[in-house]
Amino acid sequence: MGYIVVGSKQCAYCKSAVTLLENKALNYKYVDMQELTHAEYNELLDVAKVPFRTVPQIFYKDIDGVMSYIGGFTDLQATF
């Protein structure tokens, strides 16, 4: 259970999302967009319901393993 941050190493908003989650002591997993398999990308796309071309893309997986789409960094900030 926790957050999934899909990003890139050069992305300032990706780093900010990770920092925010760390400061709040929340569980997260960082995944580099370039390292996603085609199957993983399609799974995230199914959850997001919209194609995404920018990063970060942030998801939340609950205790039952159900994943929900949060959006980008500003969307993550708005959840707190």
Give CA separation, 61 vs 7, 10, 12, 34, in Å: 17, 25, 23, 21
Give 12-28 pLDDT, tens digit per residue: 999 999 999 999 999 99
Q: How many helices (H) does the chain have, and how many strands (E)?
A: 3, 4
Please report the domains of the chain, with CATH numbers, ordered by start residue: 2-78 (3.40.30.10)
Q: Which two tokens stand for residue 68?
A: 């929900």
> Terminus-to-terminus CA distance in the chain, angstroms?
17
What's the whole-model pTM score?
0.93
CA atoms within 13 A on the CB side of 62: 6
Question: CA 50 to CA 63: how far, in whole Å?
Answer: 24
Give 40-76 pLDDT, tens digit per residue: 999 999 999 988 889 999 999 999 999 999 999 999 9
